[in-house]
Amino acid sequence: MSTEPGRKPKRFLAPQEKYEIWMQLLRGEVTVGEAAERALVDRSTIAKIREVARQGALDALAQSRPGRREKQRDFELEAARAEAERLRAALAEMAVRLMLAEGKEPWG
C-alpha cells in the first residue's frame, strides 16, 4: 500500500477505540496531537472523531424527553380497536335501519 510522502498509512479504528479517544479528549487527558500520535492516525482523524461524537451526542439529547418514556406502539392492538369501532358503527347503523323498516314496537 503506497502512501503520499509525509502521510501515514490508513488505519481503521474500532468503535471502542474511537470512544476511548473521545473520552480522553473530553477529560482533558490528551490533546488532539497526542491522541493522533498514540493511535497512529492523522490529527484530522481525531478531529473527525470528536466532531462525530459531539454531533451524535447532540442528536441523542435532542431526541430525549424528560419524564416517562412513551410506550412502544402496539400496531396490532390499534388495528383491533379500529376494527371493533368499525363493527360497532356498522351494527348501530343496521339497528337503526331495522327499526325504521319494521317500526318501533309499542310499549307493553
Residue 87 is assigned to a structural domain of this protein: no
Q: Is-contact 30 24, C-beta < 8 A?
A: yes
Q: What is the pLDDT of residue 34?
A: 95
Q: What is the pLDDT of residue 68?
A: 67
Residue 50 is assigned to a structural domain of this protein: yes
Q: What is the pLDDT of residue 102?
A: 81
Residue 38 is assigned to a structural domain of this protein: yes
19 lies in which domain range?
A: 15-63
pTM exceeding the 0.85 threshold for the entire prediction: no
| Domain count across the chain | 1
Residue 86 is assigned to a structural domain of this protein: no
Residue 45 is assigned to a structural domain of this protein: yes
Q: What is the pLDDT of residue 100?
A: 86
Q: What is the pLDDT of residue 27?
A: 94
Q: What is the pLDDT of residue 3?
A: 57
- Which residue numbers in the chain have pLDDT < 50? none
Residue 41 is assigned to a structural domain of this protein: yes
